[in-house]
Each structure stands twice: as structure tokens, then as C-alpha cells.
Structure 1
């Protein structure tokens, strides 16, 4: 029993509407599994905070079409309902010229109905033309109904109802202009849930809105028209190595699939905090995800015992994987938006500065050397999302990388590499690449044996 909640465009309010639906289902004591189309890290944090279950990304570029289907089926185990939040507008794909990796692409892969969320703030009868266009644009996509967001007066609502009745389009929810449910944002999107004060109260308010504003009769009939697949549980393997995962307010961009891939292949995962802990847990490998080290640069810099412990562990040969924010933390220094420079770990002999330019998009990359994750010459597809840049010319790059699509460009050097260190701005999803997790674990085993 699953649906996809899409938007007619970015900014239409689909994240808030998705959270309201998830919170209402959770309040009804339903086990609900959520998913997010695309490479985003932050929206899934909000999903997980509401459902108490990890939210999984469905991205056929970072993974594959087959993996999207497998991941959806596998992670719906023991769930009553599944809700997928779309990305951008329904047909907006990664290339801009087709709908590759769009919400519509995922809807076709999974064969699920779509509810289209529309910002109705500045329209009335034109809504029918817009919705009819979305319904007929691709006959393979089942736009089963709409959710009206930011509706004004009762008169406004009646005009919208009349317009949709003329094209026989069901309304599954009506949300008024709410001013007391505001999710704070910053330079890379929403502020992560761990930093939002009073999020429990926001979740309660969202649940209340979900109960009041969705048409539950229609919604339950639609959900009942789809079925969730289940899988056999596998026996847990004997733990082979211990991998320390940097996880706190500064480092929280992780795909659950990556962590589960490590655990499935025999790694014990140990969460620790570069902000608050004074020493590393006893481990055989280090994994630094992305996040917001620039926001917490002062606290990270002041925790000198931890920075020393990290630097010494890498110097001793501990296999280490660092993405984006992790690369920034391991660098010599980090200059924040105010222009103040903060000393960092220093394992990477380069400096990083925050800037106004947003680097965003999918990347094709090729490993330049053997490392803890990849062998020389191995290709990967990843995603970049940051406003910082390395100041110096790269000395020991990890990859040659270029845009995934668009005009042909000369591949550029990217990241920083040592025999035991893979650092890069390119985020990787390992779901369809079990070899990456296996390589990392093998490197950790070898380093453990040498110790």
C-alpha cells in the first residue's frame, strides 16, 4: 500500500505535506516506510524523525533502475504503508532534457500512483489546465489525484473544486495557508532535525494537519489499491571489523544503504562525535559523511584532543573515507562565511573556504589510484552539493571527474588521496555497488591484521 507525493514544481510544499501524511499515519499506529526521490540527505532526516524508521533514497543515477525497485521492495518489510516524496517538479529530471531520475521516472519503475501537490496561492480556474497537463503529459504515469496547498478563503476553495470537477480530478487533501508550521532553512536547504528546537511540537502540529486536511476515505482506498512486497530476514553475519561513523550535528549526511551495506558484510558500526567526544572509539576504519562543519567550525577546532586522535589514526594507516564535509574537516583549515579561518585536523595539506557559489549536480568520476574504496581506473557516479572549495591546486587528487550530462567538458582533478585515505566532494551511494563496502571492509581487515 504505497503512493508517491509529487509537486508541480520546487517550492510547492511537498516536504511539509509529506511530513503531515507520515505523522498522521504514525499517529494512527501504522508502520510507515518513507522514501525520497533523488540524492537529498536533509528531507530524509525529517522523514526518519517522524516515522522512527530510516528513509531511503530512490535514485536511478546514483544506483540503477533495478536497485531502485529492489530497494523499495526490500525496505517495505514489516510496513503497513509506504510514502515516497518526489523531487522538484514531477517530470523534472537530472539532465533537463528528459525525465531521467525524476519523480515520474521512479513512479514508472515502481508502478505506483502519484498525488500531485499544487501551490494554489495565486490561481483558481487555471488549476484545471495545469493539472490536466500533468495528467496527460505521460500516459505511463498515473496522476491519481491532487493535494491543494496554500488555499485562501472558502470562496477560493470552491473555485478550485469547480475547476477540478470539470476535468474529473479527485482532491485528496486541502491545506490552508499555514503560518505556524515553518521549517527553518540555511544555505544548503532545511536545517537538520537535530538542530530544530521544539521539533516534537512541530511533528504533533503536522500530524494534526494531516488528520484534518487529507480526505482519508479517498486516501485509504487509493492505498489499498497497491500492495507491498516482503522479504525473508537474513541471519546477521559475524562482525569482522569495527568502523567508526562520525555522526553529530556537524556530520549527518549518510545514505542508510551505505551503512547497511557495511553492516551486512560484517562491519560493526560505532557512532561517535567529532564535536563532543575527546577520543576515538576503538575501531579499524573511519567514515566521515557530509554535513555542516562550517556551521560548527569553532567547536570542531576547539576540540583539539579529537583532532589529534583523528590525525594520528590516519597517520598510522587507518582506512578512512571522507565525503564533502568530512574532506573539509580533515583539511588544514576551514574559512567560514564570515571570513574567519579555523584550524582543522590537518591530514589533508590544503585549505578550504566557504563561498557563495553552489556546486550542485551528478558527476562521473574515475579513481586515479588504488585506495580504501576503489582500485585505479574504477568508475563511479556520484553527486556534489556544497558551497566550499579547496584554495590550493590539488596535490594528490582522488578522481578525474566531470558532469554527468550536458556539454562535453574536460575532466578535472577532484578530492585528495593517500593509500589509506579517500577524500572527495563527490557523495557516493553504495546500494548497487556492494564491492565498495566490501573493499573498505577488506582494507580495514588488512590494517587490523598489521596492528
Structure 2
């Protein structure tokens, strides 16, 4: 399968990889290309920016959670109708889930997809030494096809010429861009970049990023490199995305407070049920649905607005209490509790789960998770292994003894040993699941909804 593609990878975090990747996506879109964006690893925020730049939903690729087949399937399925793929890496090129294994790294994904790599290196306050660093990246794994580098945050023209010459002559690496320190601001929140839809000036910012890339990066050369990528083995689509007629309606709370969803999860549900989008700030009550899915996000940022929409919260409580299936992740877990406590005070939430959640200034958990299902629940079977990830600053404060669906093998969950608070047919956990890491979640969720409709 012929798919022009390029991977934008950093030598480490916060070298400007995301701003350059978004700028490239927008620059290519402005040139008339249909760009399909991708993000390596478990990330919800960068893909939101990808959508604003390309008007196509970004897809996550992660070989800790997915098999090689799943990565190829997700990549090829989502590329349909596109002209070029831009894959944004995570952290540093070789950073993975542990000190030795490459699983979960950008390099591993690039090798599976046979994708050429453009490195982004921070050249601020460094000159000749950058060549030693980049040479190490070239030699560390010769199976990674590093085709060039973008030198970011260079100083004056003299400094720019010095680092370029050093990299080309000493590291023998093609320089496809030299970007000076830029005034384009991409602010960070505690989980990463501020979500795109919270920034009123986002369109203007993305336009500036595209202008920056067009000015300082050889976009034609990047496109040329992308078109030299070898053909990929064509794989069949995963059965979880096959369409099936069903009268089940699933409400998905997808709005400003709850915006962390893998698009593949929504697509898999949409293939077998009617998905109804719900807004927790604007809607006064839930629509007529058979099941409810509440993703992660920033409910603590919108806590006051969520508290003020009391009719909606009461509607959610009534739905949970009815025994219809509810699945909530991270921010959704916080919303279903009694209250959220942040720097501005304590805000009342749905109150169905006997917990409060308190925000902290430092991470409470971050990384991949491996769980074992130990209690029946709306999305998984007892005995199954669940693989996903968690990242949150909140802490659960139990108000009574909790029932849990999962035992933690790797990760933290709610208390270091358990995750997945169960009450009736409501499951709320910190772990974020991707349908390709656990496809059974769709069928189990729908069967639970159908069973409750008949009862």
C-alpha cells in the first residue's frame, strides 16, 4: 500500500516537536494536500490541535497497547481519502515504557510503519556539540530511517550557520529546517498543551505556525522524503469497525470539560450503535439513550459551570441509578463523584459515586497500566487483562468502602491496588482504554445496554 508519510520526532520533550508538526500539517493543508494526522502514544491534547490544523481526526498509534497488526490497520484505515500522513512522535525518539525495551517509543512505530523520520533538535545555547548528539541518534538504531533534522530555537544568523554547518559536515545529517526563537506561544497546562478549543485565538496561532514552517522549513524536501517511503503490507480492517444494525443509542458526553476520547473508540461504537453527543454545560438533561460514555478531560477547570447545571447532574444521577450501563474515564470518574475540590473551592458534582476528588499540583499517576478484571462490569469480563494508560493530578477520597472491577498489576489506579469503581451498572476508572487494546469493550457495553432494555 503506497502511503506518503513522515514522522516528526523530538530528541526529547519540549523541543518544539508539536508546534512544528502542527505547523507542517497546516502548511500542507494550505497547499491543497489532504493531511491525515497521527500521534504516537497515549495523548488526547495534541490530536485536538491536529484536527484544527487538518480538519481530520488524528489517530493514536502505540505498540505497548496495540499489536503490530493493529498499528498497520489503524494507520491504513484512517488514511483513506488522504494524500499524505504526518505522524507526530512522543517525548524523545527512543523513549519507551522502560529503560531497555523499545515498546511504546516513536522509533518502534516508525519501524513498524517504515516511516522516514525528521528529528527536531533544540539548538538553543549549543553549537558543535549538537552534532555529537545527533550522530548518537543515527547510530543508536540503524533500522530507524532518520532522513533529516530541523534545528529549532537558533539564535542569530551566525549561530544558525554554525549549527547547520556542524550538523551537515560532522553528523552527516541533512538539515531541512532552521527555525529561530519564535514568538508563537503554545501554552502548557498540567496535562500538556492547553486544549485547542479553550483557546479563542487557536486558528490564528495555527496559521502562524504554518507561516513559520513555510518560512524556515524546506517543505518541498519534507514532501519528497515522505513520498520515498516504501510500500506497506495491506491488512484487513479490524472486525470491531464492521457495521452492524442496532437500535441501541449511546450517549457520549463530548464537550469542553470532557474532550479526551480516542476517535477509534467513537468509530467502533458508531459502527454498531447510534452515538448521541451530549454537552454537560449546555444540555439540561440526558437525551433518550440506552448507555452513557463519559470520557476524560478537565472537569476541574469547568467545575463551576458543571455545578451550576444542576438539572443535567440530576439527570445523570437518575440514569446511573436506573441500572443502565455507564462507562466513565478519569474526568468522568471525577464528575460522577460527590464533589471536586480545587484551588477555588469545592464544587458539587453528580453524587452517584461515594467519593470526592481533590486536585493536586503534581502528578498522582502517569504511565501505562495493566489490570486484571476481578468483578463483572459493563465493559469487561472477569479474568481478562486490560491494558491502557493513566495520567491525572486528582486523588480519590472514598466516603465509604468501594467496590472495584480491576486489580492493578502495573500502574496506580484509584488506590495503588485497584481501579474501576463499580456501583450498579456504572463503571468509573482512571485508566483510559483504547478499543484496539481491548476490542471486547464495545461488544460487552452494547450487550449490557441491550440486556437492560429488555429487563
Give the TM-score taking structure 2 as reference length: 0.93
Moved more, 431-440 or 48-57: 431-440
Kindly indicate whether residue 258 of structure 2 is the aligned counterpart of residue 251 of structure 1: yes
CA distance in 2, matches of 1:216, 1:207: 10
* Residues 6-405 of structure 1 mapped to structure 2, 5 A cutoff: 6-166=9-169, 167-179=171-183, 181-226=184-229, 236-264=243-271, 266-338=272-344, 340-358=345-363, 359-392=365-398, 394-403=401-410
Does the Cα contact within 8 Å between 2:372 and 2:409 map onto a contact in 1?
no
Which residue of structure 2 aligns with residue 435 of structure 1?
A: 440
Does the Cα contact within 8 Å between 2:23 and 2:207 map onto a contact in 1?
no
Which residue of structure 2 aligns with residue 426 of structure 1?
A: 431
Does the Cα contact within 8 Å between 1:63 and 1:430 map onto a contact in 2?
no
Does the Cα contact within 8 Å between 2:114 and 2:229 map onto a contact in 1?
no
Deviation (angstroms), 1:33: 0.5
Moved more, 68-77 or 1-10: 68-77
SS in 2 for 1:356: coil
SS in 1 for 2:81: coil
CA distance in 1, matches of 2:360, 2:222: 45
Deviation (angstroms), 1:187: 1.6
Q: Which runs of 5+ in 1 are unaligned?
A: none
Does the Cα contact within 8 Å between 2:321 and 2:424 map onto a contact in 1?
no
* Per-residue deviation, residues 147-191 of structure 1 (Å, max 9, x unmatched): 111111110111012102213311111211101x11122221111
CA distance in 2, matches of 1:331, 1:404: 22
CA distance in 1, matches of 2:420, 2:11: 36
Moved more, 53-62 or 90-99: 90-99
Does the Cα contact within 8 Å between 2:168 and 2:175 map onto a contact in 1?
no
Does the Cα contact within 8 Å between 1:394 and 1:416 map onto a contact in 2?
no
CA distance in 2, matches of 1:357, 1:220: 40
Does the Cα contact within 8 Å between 1:394 and 1:415 map onto a contact in 2?
no
Deviation (angstroms), 1:197: 1.5
CA distance in 1, matches of 2:188, 2:101: 29
Residue 108 and residue 420 in structure 1: after superposition, are their counterparts in 2 closer, same or farther (change >3 A)?
same
Residue 433 and residue 397 in structure 1: after superposition, are their counterparts in 2 closer, same or farther (change >3 A)?
closer
Does the Cα contact within 8 Å between 2:339 and 2:356 map onto a contact in 1?
yes
RMSD value over aligned CA atoms?
A: 1.9
Does the Cα contact within 8 Å between 1:23 and 1:210 map onto a contact in 2?
no
* Per-residue deviation, residues 384-429 of structure 1 (Å, max 9, x unmatched): 1001111126511121113269xxxx97022311341111011111
SS in 2 for 1:219: helix
CA distance in 1, matches of 2:404, 2:377: 11
CA distance in 2, matches of 1:32, 1:249: 25
Which residue of structure 2 aligns with residue 415 of structure 1?
A: 420
Does the Cα contact within 8 Å between 2:6 and 2:222 map onto a contact in 1?
no
SS in 2 for 1:39: coil
Moved more, 276-285 or 89-98: 89-98
Q: Which runs of 5+ in 2 are unaligned?
A: none
